[in-house]
């Protein structure tokens, strides 16, 4: 779905720069490569002249809602067959976790490919800030760029924020981004050297009074907007308790840097594993500890609303998986 930056520490030895620390995304890729079973999908050779990254997005206008119930069911069956790696008719929590990691990683790299094609306008294998900013903001007049809306939004502030993130992504100060740098720019939460920026941008997004901290009302307001005649959902009170009992560790009434980090980037929590566990608990009708094809189809709506199907997108584009 989430951003600002600290430069990654590089050690210099005998005139050579050591390799940077592995990113979380690298670890995911290695995990998938280490699996000894057949790959989830054949590897794509991005150097193949027939490889067309634009084809990944040729059906972008289609959504899950465009499918009939029968079409969605048939396509979901094809995905289930890919989730079930050992073909024993059972989808385990481990298989679901691997699948969700795969879907997440595929989305990130497909997104990078699409953005690379759009922004490397001179096709020289590099993207400069001038190329990116012109493509993204070049349609705006000076008045539009500087205009500030009632809610405080302005394109100028967005441009400045993007430039800050851009510079953090270019950790070698080359003056341009490589494809890996662009991935860090687009998905900074996956890279250790970008995580301080993720925290800063999160605070900036939620901190409405500009004091550099997130208060309880700002925390709740980011998730739920109170309506005059609308009853407060029960989960809102649960979130208040989460804030007061767990997130605000020093009981200051605010979330600050380390507390925000623990909230949005918990170090010991695997979101894919948590999502897989949630899907098993939600769809395991016979409490067997795994899911059958029938159970997944019976709980189709649960899967459409999850990362396992990229919120329905993977069902629409099942052939890409």
Residue 163 belongs to a domain = yes
In a shared domain, residues 172 and 222? no
Give residue 270's pLDDT. 86
Distance CA 196, CA 6 (A): 6
- φ, ψ at 28 (rounded to 5°): -65, -45
Q: What does the block give as tokens for 155?
A: 């394109």
- CB neighbourhood size of 1 (10 A): 8
Last residue of a domain, one of 255, 280, 311: 255
Q: Is the pLDDT of residue 314 over 70?
A: no
Instruction: Note whether 116 and 154 are same-domain residues.
Output: yes
**pLDDT at 26 > cutoff 90:** no
Has residue 4 got a pLDDT over 70?
A: no
Same domain, yes or no: 223 and 123: no
Both 261 and 137 in one domain: the answer is yes
Residues 129 and 260 in one domain: yes
Task: Kindly report the number of other CB atoms within 10 A of residue 17's CB atom.
Answer: 10
User: What pLDDT is attached to residue 3?
Assistant: 34
3-state secondary structure of 225: coil
Which of 95-99, 159-163, 299-303 reaches the highest mean pLDDT? 159-163
Of residues 29 and 210, the one with the higher pLDDT is 210
Res 198 pLDDT > 80: yes
198 and 225 co-located in one domain = no
When pLDDT is cut at 50, 70 and 90, the band that residue 315 belongs to is low
User: If DSSP codes are grouped into helix, strand and coil, which group holds residue 315?
Assistant: helix
Give the helix ranges, DSSP H, for 84-194.
93-119, 129-137, 142-146, 155-169, 179-186
> Are 127 and 248 found together in one domain?
no
Give the domain range for residue 168.
23-30+66-213+256-320
Range with the lowest mean pLDDT among 29-33, 137-141, 227-231?
Answer: 29-33
- Among candidate residues 255, 279, 307, the one where a domain is terminated: 255
User: pLDDT confidence of 36, banded at 50, 70, 90?
Assistant: very low
Task: Say how far apart CA 296 and CA 310 lie, in whole Å.
Answer: 15
What's the whole-number mean pLDDT along residues 210-229? 89
Strands 214-215 and 16-17: unpaired
Task: Tell whether 78 and 124 lie within a shared domain.
Answer: yes
Total structural domains within the chain: 2
More confident call, 68 vs 164: 164
Structural domain includes residue 60: no
pLDDT at 14: 29
pLDDT at 261: 95
pLDDT of 216 above 70: yes
Are residues 243 and 179 part of one domain?
Answer: no
- pLDDT bin (cut points 50, 70, 90) of residue 76 is confident
């Amino acid at each position: 779905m989430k951003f600002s930056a600290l430069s990654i520490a590089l050690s210099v030895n005998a005139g050579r720069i050591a390799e940077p620390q592995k990113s979380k995304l690298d670890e995911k890729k290695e995990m998938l490569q280490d699996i000894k079973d057949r790959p989830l999908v054949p590897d794509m050779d991005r150097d193949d002249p027939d490889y067309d990254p634009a084809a990944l997005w040729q059906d972008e206008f289609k959504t899950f809602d465009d499918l009939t119930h029968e079409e969605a069911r048939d396509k979901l069956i094809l995905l289930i067959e890919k989730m079930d790696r050992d073909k024993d008719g059972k989808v385990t929590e481990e298989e679901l976790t691997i699948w969700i990691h795969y879907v997440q990683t595929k989305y990130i790299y497909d997104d990078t490919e699409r953005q690379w094609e759009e922004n490397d306008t001179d096709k020289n294998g590099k993207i400069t800030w001038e190329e990116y900013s012109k493509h993204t903001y070049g349609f705006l007049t000076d008045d539009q760029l500087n205009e500030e809306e009632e809610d405080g939004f302005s394109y100028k502030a967005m441009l400045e924020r993007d430039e800050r993130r851009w510079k953090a992504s270019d950790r070698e100060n080359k003056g341009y981004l490589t494809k890996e740098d662009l991935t860090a720019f687009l998905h900074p939460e996956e890279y250790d050297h970008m995580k301080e920026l993720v925290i800063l941008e999160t605070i900036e997004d939620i901190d409405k009074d500009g004091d550099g901290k997130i208060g309880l009302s700002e925390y709740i307001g980011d998730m739920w907007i109170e309506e005059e005649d609308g009853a407060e959902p029960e989960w809102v009170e649960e979130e208040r308790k989460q804030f007061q009992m767990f997130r605000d560790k020093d009981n200051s009434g605010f979330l600050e840097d380390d507390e925000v980090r623990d909230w949005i980037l918990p170090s010991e929590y695997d979101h894919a594993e948590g999502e897989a566990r949630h899907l098993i608990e939600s769809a395991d009708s016979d409490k067997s500890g795994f899911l059958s094809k029938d159970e997944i189809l019976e709980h189709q709506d649960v899967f459409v609303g999850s990362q396992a199907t990229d919120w329905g997108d993977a069902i629409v584009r099942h052939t890409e998986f």
